Amino acid sequence: MNFTSIGIPALDEQLGGGIQKGSTVLVMGTPGSGTEFFAKQFASAGQEAVTYFTSTERDEDVLGVMREYGWRTDLKIVNVGTKYYESVLAKKLEVSRFRQEGITLGDIRRFRNEDSAKEENFLTFLSYEISKLAPPFRVVINSLDFFLENYESPEVLMAMRTIKAHTQHSESVTLMTMLKGVHDSRIQSSIEDLADVILELEHDKQGSEFKKFIIVQKVRNRPVMVGIIPTTFDKTGIKLG
Amino acid sequence: MPLKTGERDRCATGLEGLDTILYGGIPRSNTVLLTGSCGTGKTSLALEFLIHGAQKGENSLFVSVTENSEKLLANIIPYKFFDKSLIKSGRLVFVDLPIMYERLGMTKAELSMEEIDLLVAAISDLVTELGTKRLVIDSITSVCYKLKTSEKIRDFILKLGKSLSDLNCTTILVGEVSAESTSYSSFGVEEAIADGIVLMANMERRGDLLRTLQVIKMRGTMHSRAKYVLDLTPMGVLLVPLLKGGSTA
């Protein structure tokens, strides 16, 4: 079988050698459950070139964690969050200034086409960036929530299907994170449906401490792998048992 | 010699025939709807109104909605009296409304009531900044497409008219109607709130397509309501009364 690592060696073992090349992995959890951290550990593994799309963190936050755990830092970070700020939020700020203070002839004269207030479609941007990657690649999308908040569900689903197909075809791997229970159940089910592997991170308060688990919810064509695995965190990252 | 009625200051259009019809010009600070189907000469007439104003030292502003103003300038009729220095000196200014939409973030297909107020304020601010005495918006119909409902159109034109009138600016709103239309405006609202309506049309006569002009209404002055034949020449717009007798039209 043609496997690649998910980032946690013990979990690879549990999964019978890792995840199959060509897989799309969905990691879900409630806020604070460690999905972002999992995404970074995933990025640290494998032989593939890593592209890390983030909508919530600064580049140095991602690299800081990678360094702290002694993981690879040669990943390409595409910061959708910064791009979103620059092209949408900054323009919104500018628009509010014009609305408040009015426009002068100079403001009109200085206008260039790239000042257009029309928003760039970040979903298209994401698909396009992934389509350009040379296989085999390892992609992290942290998180789907950004796209689900800003675009219509069918659009997001279509983009994810495209990305999944491209991942499959090029024998690469893609991991996406998504908050659990915040999106409507139809879109959540559709995304779960297209993922080849679904992991759910959970923590449970037992007495005075949290018990953490990885729930292996789905492994395509290998239902026997499904199960609940207790986990701990230490200075090397996520560990099983 | 045009007759002066005395009560209101006039904004002489500089188009001789039209000033005669209006007994001296458009009553200053009126908002006039210049309406007609395509190819009837609305934009040319409006431009001439501005050029004459600029030449007399009145700051003039052309707000282009549909056409890029650079393109418009390239296609301008080679008027003998048109002098490019009017643009350099800032007497005659061209502005594209779509850029104002962009600046104000009005990229949605329909403007909200709040955005209408903002747009009126932005245009008025520009008129204040430039000291504009003559304004043309070409076309108001295109703006109306972004307003959609007749309530919003009414609101927009009333507020714009009021604001420009307070700034002592004489305004021509260019309106587009289809040739078959029985109304003077596409949305039927613009005509009711404008201070004046000038109708331009095509008329076929003995195999010729004539351009005609008729002042339907003008608050603040007496005016002829007769139909005139209009000729666009490098010397400007020429108007002659339409001969009624003897033809088959």
- CATH assignment at residue B142: 3.40.50.300
The CA radius of gyration of chain B, in Å to the nearest whole number, is: 17
* B151 falls within a domain: yes
DSSP letter, residue B46: H
In this prediction, residue B248 carries a pLDDT of 47
3-state secondary structure of B248: coil
Q: Tell me the DSSP string of A96-152.
A: HHHHHH---HHHHHT--GGG--PPP-HHHHHHHHHHTSPSSEEEEEE-HHHHHHHS-
Phi-psi region of B62 (alpha: psi -120 to 50; beta: other; left: phi over 0): beta
Least confident segment among A25-29, A48-52, B67-71 = B67-71
In this prediction, residue A241 carries a pLDDT of 80
pLDDT band at A117; cut points 50, 70, 90: low
Residue A87, min C-alpha distance to chain B (Å) = 13
CA A206 vs CA A200, A203, A212, A215, B115: distances in Å: 19, 9, 10, 17, 55
- What are the residue boundaries of the structural domains of chain A, listed by start? 3-82+121-240
B107, B121, B129: residue with CB nearest A105: B129
The chain B residue lying nearest A110, using CA atoms, is B99
Q: Which helix (H) or strand (E) holds B97?
A: helix B97-103
Q: Do A105 and B125 count as a contact with CB atoms less than 8 A apart?
A: no
Residue A106, min C-alpha distance to chain B (Å) = 10
**Which residues 6+ apart lie within 8 Å of B183 measured at CB?**
B177, B191
Q: Do A108 and B103 count as a contact with CB atoms less than 8 A apart?
A: yes
In this prediction, residue B247 carries a pLDDT of 47
Q: What is the ipTM of this complex?
A: 0.78
For the segment B43-74, what is each residue's pLDDT rounded down to a tens digit? 989 999 999 999 999 999 999 998 888 888 77
Considering only residues B182 and A29, tell me which one the structure prediction assigns the higher pLDDT: A29
Q: Do B102 and A111 count as a contact with CB atoms less than 8 A apart?
A: yes
For the segment A204-234, what is each residue's pLDDT rounded down to a tens digit? 888 888 899 999 999 998 888 899 999 998 8
Q: Residue B28 sits in which domain range?
A: 12-238
* B1 falls within a domain: no
Q: Which helix (H) or strand (E) holds A84?
A: helix A80-84
Residues of A in contact with B122 (CB under 8 A): 98, 102-103
* B86 falls within a domain: yes
CATH superfamily of A3-82+121-240: P-loop containing nucleotide triphosphate hydrolases (3.40.50.300)
In this prediction, residue B77 carries a pLDDT of 64
CA B54 vs CA B26, B87, B93: distances in Å: 16, 9, 10
pLDDT < 70 regions, chain B? 1-7, 77, 244-249
Tokens of A139: 């992609």
* B107 falls within a domain: yes
* B118 falls within a domain: yes
* B7 falls within a domain: no
A-facing residues of B in 118-157 (CB < 8 A) are 118, 121-122, 125-126, 129-130
